[in-house]
Structure formats: structure tokens, C-alpha cells
Amino acid sequence: MRLKALLFDLDGTLADTDRLHEQAWLEGLAQHGLRADHHFYQTQISGGLNPEIVRRVLPWLSEAEGELFLAQKEARFRELAAGVKPLPGLRKLWVWAQSRGLRRALVSNAPRANARFMLERLGLEFDLVVLSEELPAGKPDPLPYRTALAQLGLGPEAALAFEDSPSGVRAAVGAGLRTVALTTGHRPEALAGAFLHIADFTDEHLWAWLEGHDPAGP
């Protein structure tokens, strides 16, 4: 089947924001006496769903305190990300997809406020936005990607997913999607299941694959 849609994660996929989230998380955790580091962030936080992370790493917080912590953490992230730029090659991919009538969906564990903020900064509009916080389960559960495919009316064979975290790759692959992993925050070996690992969207191997599956081709 010809390619009909591109499905994207947000942080670490459209822009290299993982280090900004890490800074915001580590600052916030330090205020609660938890001296975390890069390894802790990568293994305990990256790619997770915010409320679940708080319940796991700050179990002594009440629900209201957890919500306040997350609001402050995300406000700090937006402050750090004020000058965020798209990953190299994303604009080229966007134009390529538009010229071929490919639909584009955002599938993210990010809170809606952050998703809106990031898309405004990056100047991107999607045909569909699916956020895990509005579903019964988030990544690494495949539900967010299955939801996107259902709303697009497509089977997984007609779409390509882009992810950057182990939980995101697990979700996309679990939904039956061919998945490209961005190595902005994790080493390739941590992103098992992806058929291609790239540093950004200028990668020649990505473009060779896209040309081989070009819906405008013969």
C-alpha cells in the first residue's frame, strides 16, 4: 500500500527539546530533595506520561501537590523553550509531504498546553492531534497510535511514525507502524524496534526510503 500519512511524536522528534525537559524536571525534583541526574531522567522520565511519572518518583505528593508540581515544571519548560527551532530537514519533509497529499498527525504524551506552545513556536499545523492525557492510556501503550490511525481511517501499513524515546518506539511498533527513531535523546540500542535510526530529517537513508515509497511515484 502506498504511503498516506506521517505520524510524529513531539518532543525530541520535531525539535531537540529533551535537554530542556530534563533541565526543568531536574530543577523541580531538586526542590523536593531528589538529586536526579541524566541517567535518572533517561530511564525514569523520558517519554513517560506526566501524572504517572510524578506518582512513581514523588509518591509522597498529594494529587493537588502533584498537579502544582507539573504546572510549575511545564511553565519552566516553556520558558526554556522560547527560542525552540525545528530539527534540521523537518521543513523539507513537511513540504514533501504536503506536495504529495500525505496527512500528518501529532501523537504525543505532552500536555495540551505544551503541544499548543510548541506547534506555535515551530509554525506547524497538523491534520490531527492525539494527546495521551486525553485517552485511557498513553505511550508506551499503543493506544495513542491506534487512535490516530482509526481517526485517519488508515491501517498501519499506510503510515510512517517518527519517535525519539524507548516508550514512544514501543507504542508505535506495538500499533504495527513502521517506525523511524530520532537519536536526539537516546542511543540507537535503546530504541529497539525502529527500522531506521537518524540524527535528524536530513538523513540520506530516510530520504532513500521515502523516495522508494513515494506516493507520487510510478
The Cα–Cα gap between 12 and 217 comes to 30
11, 18, 141, 203: the catalytic one is 11
Beta strands in the chain (DSSP E): 5-8, 103-108, 128-131, 159-163, 178-182, 196-198
Q: Is 164 a catalytic residue?
A: no
In the chain, the amino acid numbered 122 is L
Q: Is 9 a catalytic residue?
A: yes
Stretch (H or E) spanning 93: helix 90-99
9, 16, 164, 203: the catalytic one is 9
Point out which residues pair with 198 in neighbouring strands: 182
Cell digits for 2?
Answer: 502506498
Q: Which residues are catalytic?
A: 9, 11
